[in-house]
């Protein structure tokens, strides 16, 4: 099992030392379930990107703003569902969060069909 407190410390230190101000690691993969720890230095943004059909963000340290339909600030200790629209994540402070995604399903909750 992953020690999230340890991982948060390690990745925040790596993000602070990284020229791009970020550090990330996929820490759990189980079928369609993915969990990644992501650290961002204050002011660093994960550019706008598509969202999987199901995703949540749990901020372990700091505070981030998720943009999309309605900008939402998420502070340490909060767990929020991520928008299903394109969105970006901006670190308002040095931050670490646990990103949980479920892949392989469409937005209606059924299996994705090959296109």
Closest residue by Cα to residue 47 from 66, 23, 74, 73: 66
pLDDT band at 53 (very low <50, low <70, confident <90, very high): confident
Read off the pLDDT of each residue in 4-30 and give the average, rounded to a whole number.
Answer: 97
Residue 58 has pLDDT above 90, yes or no: yes
Is residue 86 a contact partner of residue 51, using CB atoms and an 8 Å limit?
yes
Distance CA 26, CA 23 (A): 11
Distance CA 110, CA 95 (A): 33
CA 28 to chain centroid: 13
Hey, what domains does the chain have and what are their CATH numbers?
A: 4-102 (2.60.120.10)
DSSP at 17: H
pLDDT of residue 100: 96
**pTM, to two decimals:** 0.86
Give ∠ CA 11-19-7 in degrees, rounded to 5. Answer: 0
Distance CA 93, CA 97 (A): 12
Residue 73 has pLDDT above 70, yes or no: yes
């Amino acid at each position: 099992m992953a020690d999230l407190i340890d991982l948060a410390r390690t990745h925040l230190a790596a993000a602070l030392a990284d020229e791009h101000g970020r550090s990330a690691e996929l820490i759990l993969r189980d079928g369609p379930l993915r969990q990644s720890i992501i650290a961002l230095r204050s002011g660093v943004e994960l550019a706008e990107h598509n969202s999987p059909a199901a995703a949540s963000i749990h901020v372990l340290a700091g505070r981030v703003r998720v943009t999309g339909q309605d900008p939402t600030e998420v502070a340490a200790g909060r767990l929020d569902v991520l928008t299903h629209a394109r969105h970006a994540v901006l670190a308002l402070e040095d931050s670490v969060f646990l990103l949980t995604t479920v892949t392989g399903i469409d937005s209606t909750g059924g299996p994705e069909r090959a296109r």
